[in-house]
Copies of this chain bind each other. A is one copy, B any other.
Amino acid sequence: MAIDPPSASAGNPAPARPLRRDAQRNREALLTAARSCFAEQGMEAPLEQVAKRAGVAIGTLYRHFPTRLDLVQATFAEKLAVWREAAEKAVTMDDAWAGLCHFLETMCELQSQDRGFNDLASIRLPESACLAGAQTRIRELGVHIVERAQEQGSLRPDLTPEDLAFVIWSHSRVTEATHAIAPDAWRRHLYLLLDGFRTDRAHPLPAPPLTEEQLYRAMISLGGNGACGA
């Protein structure tokens, strides 16, 4: 993903000679350390701490992952896949409302377990990032999830897929606040919000939905100093 002979940017050309054994070991130690650091402190955890926790010098970290974004992507690829699978499954569920709940609940669960994922879910990676594709796919699935639930009449018709970002963002801070004190409290918040999503009870909303473009810009603006540079 970073190391290796020149070229090999997209992920398929040269088979790239396997890593030396010590390098392989270090790479894995780094990923393990990154997972725990990011989970505790978010995507902006000091890289020097990741290196220390991996029992490796800082130079070694940079050799394997030249930028923070490289490390973030390698660290979260799996969890992003879990989220994506939840979305894929959601669109196949007979009860579209249950599908929506499954999608959102899985997402929130991942967010609440991992501050780094919490950060990642809230933002949009740069186009160049290899995980950006997964984000895009999840968004497509989100559109279907919303449409199906509206067709079945369970989801209020004035809700747009962009409104799902409200769930991500609002849950983000709620879980950050309650995580250490009441690890399940976020479910209460989620279901309060979901009650507001149902068709019965819908009252007119006071502001128009975000456009897709606004949504992207909003997600990018949250990027701050995280892994979002370029």
Contact = CB atoms under 8 A, between A and B. Distances in A.
A121 to B, nearest CB: 11
Nearest to A184: B207
Contact of A218 (B166, B178, B202, B221): B178
A218 B189 CA distance: 14
A177 B207 contact: no
Interface string A149-167: 0000000000100010110
Interface residues of A, number: 47
A210 interface: yes
In the complex, the count of this chain's copies comes to 2
Contacts of A159: 192
Given A163-B192, A170-B189, A182 B214 contact: yes
Chain A: interface secondary structure? helix
A184 B222 CA distance: 17
Name the residue among A178, A198, A203 with the largest chain B CB count within 10 angstroms.
A178
Interface centre among A163, A187, A201, A202 (most CB of B within 10 A): A201
Interface of A: 122, 159, 163, 165-166, 169-174, 176-178, 180-182, 184-189, 191-198, 200-203, 205-210, 214, 217-219, 221-222
